[in-house]
Amino acid sequence: MPTPTVIEARAVRRVFESRKGFLFTDVTRTEALRGVDLTVERGEIFGLLGPNGAGKTTLTKILSTLLIPTSGEAKVLGLDVVRQAAELRPRIGLVLGGERGLYYRVSARENLRYFADLFGVPLDQRAARIDEVLERVGLSAAADRRVEEFSRGMKQKLHLARGILHRPELLFLDEPTIGLDPKSARETRKLIRALIEDGVTIFLTTHYMFEAEELCHRLAVLSKGQIVARDTVAGLRRLVGGDRTIEVEAYGFEDEEIETVRRLPGVSRVVSEEFGPRLRLTLRIATSETTPDDVRAALASHAELTVRERPTQLEDVYLDLVEEEAN
């Protein structure tokens, strides 16, 4: 019976070394991952969020056997990513963002024929499987066109077709919709959801908060090489102070006024940002006690005051967590 845990990382570190100087004796060490612990369960879409340089792609490459960790241990589908990499690779798929990894001067079908042989797809199943994945990603009509004629969205679809060609149990998607137009991105998200129905587990990195909120069952936030939070979207909202956000804008606030707002019932966090000549206070609300009217009353001295309430979005949660880590 398949194990419920498909990814288990413990204290994973990765240090990159670069040499410079006249005799290349000056060594610079960059710690990309600083002791990452992570668990992904079978059948879920697990999202990994983080700013550029946080270590998302490094972690993805380690888990998919493309990089060796400096220290720590990672098991994928019960197999060690270093010692049992050859056993593991036929059971996983990897789609990296960007346009590399395809052969432009041949057709989409010829690309997939080559990769099918690399992945060990049985020869008597190869043609049918290629037709199946081309249909799945919407490239059947363009199957015999050279890839150099493809748009960026079509190339990304071909990357996805290559990633699922050998029916992997686990699919790594690194920024799968980056640079795609809205229609192509929507079709890609639809395919991702369909793959889960087929029993594929998906490990997804993305910069798009709405995409993560729409697709992912659970999320982790990676900042400066460390996991700073992991939970469902609802759990992450609770972590930063609640499902409600109240925004207040005016031409400046006194420190005493900000403290008055901070002491209102249920206010767990107050963030101050400048918007041109105006100042915005963003309040995370953990309870239903404080309303926009309560905020207006606390700041009654402001004649031109804009107050609005909205649900706390994943982007709010992400920015709060990354900002806390930076401070």
Query: What CATH number corresponds to the domain at position 55?
Result: 3.40.50.300
Q: What is the DSSP string of 119-136?
A: HT--HHHHHHHHHHHHHH
Q: Alpha-carbon distance 275 to 291, whole Å?
A: 23
Q: Which domain holds residue 198?
A: 5-236
> Is 317 inside any structural domain?
no
> Is 327 inside any structural domain?
no
Looking at the structure, tell me whether residues 255 and 124 fall in a common domain.
no
Total domains present in the chain = 2
Contact 309, 244 (CB under 8 A): yes
Contacts of 309 (CB under 8 A, 6+ apart): 244, 245, 246, 247, 291, 292
268 CB burial (10 A radius; 0-12, 13-18, 19+): middle
| pLDDT (tens place) for every residue of the chain, 327 residues total | 566 899 999 999 999 988 776 677 777 888 999 999 999 999 999 999 988 888 999 999 999 999 999 999 999 999 999 999 999 999 999 998 666 788 999 999 999 999 999 999 999 999 999 999 999 988 999 999 999 999 888 888 899 999 999 999 999 998 888 777 888 888 888 889 999 988 899 999 988 888 898 899 999 999 999 999 999 988 888 887 778 899 999 988 888 889 999 999 989 888 888 877 889 999 988 888 899 999 999 998 887 899 999 988 888 888 888 875 554
> Is 302 inside any structural domain?
yes
48 CB burial (10 A radius; 0-12, 13-18, 19+): buried
pTM of the entire predicted model: 0.84
Backbone angles phi and psi of 309, in degrees to 5:
-115, 145
Spatial CA neighbour of 156 closest among 114, 187, 199, 115? 187
Looking at the structure, tell me whether residues 113 and 196 fall in a common domain.
yes
> Is 283 inside any structural domain?
yes
Query: What CATH number corresponds to the domain at position 255?
Result: 3.30.70.2730
Looking at the structure, tell me whether residues 51 and 187 fall in a common domain.
yes
